[in-house]
């Protein structure tokens, strides 16, 4: 049986027009522009930030013909600030709020240099009311089952590490509870606890490595004019329609990116958790 090729995004259908939640033809609605600017200005006031907004751009699916009624609105905000400030302030951004009267969450991203337009798809300049890269009706010819199979390479590794972590945590609690009632072989149990702690740390680090690999796997397809990897038998597409980006979208769709964020936070707190468990021994 021949697999049907997707003539649209993996996640979203190919629409005839840009979303009328944002656009009138190809012009950004005045009320949408006003709301996007208002939200970022109020956020700056709340955090007592006296920066000049150098660029305010919309990119992603809501600037093209492949979207759905809950697609995110990705807004790039450029300031003259350091990487450290971006890392700090990025956690405070007013993200996830829906554009009024729509189901589209607005997500802001901070930049401290010009947004690289290469391979990024369509991009709209909000402050100057113009397209930097016009939307087109290009589509992907990549087989959906093929993309899902590639994504499973990451899914299987993530599932394995998470299941191992959950088992290890139960084992640690078993040892801690045992120490409370059977202290006579304390040294042996504490040794088992130490081994288990090392296993958990390695597992959490493994999940963190997978997360980093996924990011770099996707980002690489946006940084090159030609796909530098000899991973794929039939497709070397870069940017939005690259295999790397489609794999990312599948992992996002199935909730694996959220899972990795969750365990990234657990990893930060793990040593504190262990000290709490063992403080009486």
Ramachandran quadrant class, 163 (left: phi over 0; alpha: psi -120 to 50; beta: rest): alpha
Give the pLDDT of residue 270: 82
The span from the CA of 256 to the CA of 262, in Å, is 10
Give the pLDDT of residue 240: 72
How far, CA to CA in Å, does 146 sit from each of 7, 10, 65, 67, 156?
14, 11, 23, 22, 16
Give the pLDDT of residue 202: 92
Give the pLDDT of residue 103: 93
- For the entire predicted model, the pTM comes to 0.63
The span from the CA of 74 to the CA of 107, in Å, is 5
Give the pLDDT of residue 151: 93
Give the pLDDT of residue 9: 46
The span from the CA of 121 to the CA of 153, in Å, is 27
DSSP annotation of 14 reads: B
Give the pLDDT of residue 48: 92
Give the pLDDT of residue 214: 92
Give the pLDDT of residue 142: 67
Residue among 200, 166, 164, 197 nearest 281 (CA): 197
The span from the CA of 112 to the CA of 115, in Å, is 9
Give the pLDDT of residue 236: 63
> DSSP string spanning 77-110?
EE-S--HHHHHHHHTTS-TTEEPTTSS-EEEEEE
pLDDT (tens digit, 0 to 9) for every residue of the chain, 281 residues total? 333 334 334 456 678 899 999 999 999 999 999 999 999 999 999 999 988 999 999 998 899 888 888 888 999 999 998 988 888 898 899 998 999 999 999 999 999 988 877 766 789 999 999 999 998 876 556 677 888 999 999 999 999 999 999 999 898 888 888 877 776 777 888 888 888 888 999 999 999 999 999 988 888 877 766 655 666 766 667 777 788 888 988 998 899 999 999 999 898 888 777 667 666 55
């Amino acid at each position: 049986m021949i697999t049907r090729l997707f003539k649209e995004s993996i996640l979203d259908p190919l629409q005839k027009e840009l979303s009328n939640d944002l656009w009138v033809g190809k012009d950004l609605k005045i009320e949408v522009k006003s709301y996007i600017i208002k939200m970022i200005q109020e956020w700056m006031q709340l955090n007592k930030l006296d920066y000049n907004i150098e660029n305010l751009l919309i990119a992603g699916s809501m600037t093209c013909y492949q979207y759905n009624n809950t697609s995110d609105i990705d807004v790039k905000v450029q300031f003259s600030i350091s990487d450290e400030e971006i890392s700090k302030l990025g956690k405070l951004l007013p993200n996830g709020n829906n554009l009024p009267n729509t189901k589209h969450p607005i997500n802001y991203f901070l930049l401290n240099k010009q947004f690289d337009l290469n391979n990024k798809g369509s991009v709209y300049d909000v402050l100057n009311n113009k397209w930097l890269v016009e939307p087109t009706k290009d589509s992907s010819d990549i087989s959906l089952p093929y993309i899902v199979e590639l994504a499973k390479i990451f899914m299987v590794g993530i599932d394995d590490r998470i299941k191992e972590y959950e088992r290890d945590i139960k084992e640690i609690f078993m040892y801690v509870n045992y120490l409370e009632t059977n202290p006579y072989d304390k040294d042996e149990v504490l040794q088992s606890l130490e081994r288990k702690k090392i296993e958990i740390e390695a597992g959490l680090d493994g999940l963190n490595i997978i997360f980093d690999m996924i990011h770099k796997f996707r980002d690489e397809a946006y940084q090159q004019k030609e796909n530098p990897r000899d991973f794929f038998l039939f497709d070397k597409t870069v940017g939005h329609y690259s295999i790397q980006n489609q794999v990312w979208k599948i992992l996002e769709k199935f909730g694996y990116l959220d899972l990795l964020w969750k365990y990234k936070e657990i990893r930060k707190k793990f040593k504190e958790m262990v000290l709490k468990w063992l403080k009486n021994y």
